[in-house]
C-alpha cells in the first residue's frame, strides 16, 4: 500500500480498514477519510466552501486510544450535528494529544451507519516510510 492511503479489508460482520501515513497526522487524516467513504460511498464530495470549521482537541491514554477516540469523535458528531466530515486537517498528533480542524455537510442518505471504532486488533506500527494501522469499526 502507498503511504497516505487506506484500504478496506474483509471482516465477517463489521468493517475493517488498513491505513498508511507518512506521518501520524496523515495516518489520522486518512483514517477520517476512510470513515467518510464508508458513510458516503466512494469519492465523497467536499463540503460547501462556507461550511463551518469545527475544532477537535483530544487527549487519550496512548496513540492507539487516540486513534479510537478520534474516529469515535467523528462518529459521535455525525449523530449530534448530522454531518459527515470530508475536509480534515490534523494539525498535530503527539503520543497522547491531537488537534484537528474539520468541515462537513449533511448528506441526503447515509450509505453505512457506523456505531463506533474499536480497539480490536488495533496496533499503530511505525516503519521506514511512516506508520500503519488496522482498524475495526462496528457498523
Partner 1 sequence: MEPTVEVPQQPTPLLRQIGPALHELDMSFRADMRVPARIVADEELLQRMTQDRSIVQLVNVTTLPGIQGFAIGMPDMHEGYGFPVGGVAGTLLPDGVISPGGIGFDINCGVRLLSTGLRHEDLKEVLPALAHDLARSIPTGFGRHGRLSLSAAELDRVLDEGVPYVVEVLGLGSREDLAHIEAGGHLPGADAGRVTVRARERGHDQLGTLGGGNHFIEVQRVEHIHDAEAATAFGLFEGQLTVLIHTGSRGLGHQVCTDAVRKMDQVLAREGIRLVDRQLACAPFSSPEGQDYFAAMCAAANFAWSNRQVLTHRVREVFGRRLGERAEAWPRVVYDVAHNIAKVETYGGQQLCVHRKGATRAFGPGDPELPSAYAEAGQPVFIPGSMGTASFVLAGQGESRSISLGSACHGAGRQLSRAAAKRQVVGAELRKALNARGIIVECPSNAELAEEAPTAYKDVDRVVDAVETAGIARKVARLVPLAVLKG
DSSP code per residue over 63-111: HHHHHHHHHHHHHHHHHHH--EEEEEEEEEE-SSEEEEEEEEE--SS-S
User: Min. distance of Cβ 72 from partner 1 in angstroms?
Assistant: 5
Q: Which of 22, 91, 119, 129 binds partner 1 (CB under 8 A)?
A: 119
Task: Fill in the DSSP letter of residue 124.
Answer: -
- Work out how close the CB of 127 gets to partner 1 at its nearest, in angstroms, rounded to a whole number: 21
Look at residue 121 and give its three-state secondary structure. Answer: coil
Q: Give the DSSP H or E segment for 62.
A: none
Could you tell me which stretch among 25-33, 45-53, 88-96, 131-139 binds partner 1 (CB under 8 A)? 131-139
Residues that bind partner 1 (CB under 8 A): 8, 10-15, 41, 61, 64-65, 68-69, 72, 75-76, 79-80, 82, 106-113, 115-116, 118-122, 136, 138-139
Amino acid at each position: 500500500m502507498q503511504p497516505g492511503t487506506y484500504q478496506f479489508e474483509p471482516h465477517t460482520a463489521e468493517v475493517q480498514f488498513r491505513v498508511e501515513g507518512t506521518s501520524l497526522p496523515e495516518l489520522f487524516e486518512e483514517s477520517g477519510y476512510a470513515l467518510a467513504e464508508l458513510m458516503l460511498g466512494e469519492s465523497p464530495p467536499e463540503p460547501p466552501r462556507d461550511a463551518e470549521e469545527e475544532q477537535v482537541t483530544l487527549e487519550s491514554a496512548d496513540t492507539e486510544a487516540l486513534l479510537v477516540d478520534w474516529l469515535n469523535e467523528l462518529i459521535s458528531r455525525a449523530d449530534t450535528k448530522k454531518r459527515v466530515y470530508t475536509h480534515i486537517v490534523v494539525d498535530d498528533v503527539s503520543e497522547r494529544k491531537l488537534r484537528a480542524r474539520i468541515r462537513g455537510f449533511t448528506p441526503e442518505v447515509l450509505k453505512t451507519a457506523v456505531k463506533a471504532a474499536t480497539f480490536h486488533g488495533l496496533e499503530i506500527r511505525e516503519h521506514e516510510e511512516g506508520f500503519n494501522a488496522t482498524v475495526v469499526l462496528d457498523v
